[in-house]
Amino acid sequence: MRSAQVAHLVKAGDLNHHGTLFAGRMAEWFVEACFICGARITEHPESIVCLKMHGLRFNAPANKGDIITIDTQLVKAGRTSFIIYGRAAKNNSSTILADGFITFVYVDHQGKPKAHNLVLVPAANETEASLRENASKLS
């Protein structure tokens, strides 16, 4: 599996002073969803560390009672690192609430980078190809 989907219900404790989903909570859920994708792909969650968040952009608010779905997929695989793209939407809408990329590093028991041996399969469509191209430009 090269992708994962995670859902969260926005509750009162997740709201900011404007009464909408707190950006910090969304960022937490986003990193967690991308981590789950990486953990499933590598089958070794204990060997994954988050290195960098790239351009997490918040495009629209979410409110109490909304169901946030975060779709994630592997878009780049280096020798010891890999990049996961995530996209969050609410209530089965096509409107993107937030999206961005996260780089993870695969490490040994001493925390040193080691090869993960992940291989990208060919892009299934133009959208996936575009995401991969964007990921290849990240540093």
3-136 has which fold?
Thiol Ester Dehydrase; Chain A (3.10.129)
Residue pair 104/44 in contact by the 8 Å Cβ criterion: no
The string of pLDDT tens digits covering residues 16-56 is 999 999 999 999 999 999 999 999 999 999 999 999 999 99
8-state DSSP, 113: B
Q: How far is CA 15 from the centre of its chain?
A: 21
Longest dimension (CA), the chain: 45
What does pLDDT average to over the chain?
96
Domain boundaries, the chain: 3-136
pTM: predicted TM-score of the whole model, two decimal places: 0.95
Write out the H or E segment, with its range, that includes residue 8. Answer: strand 3-9
CA torsion angle 95 131 7 45 (round to 10): -170
The string of pLDDT tens digits covering residues 57-78 is 999 999 999 999 999 999 999 9
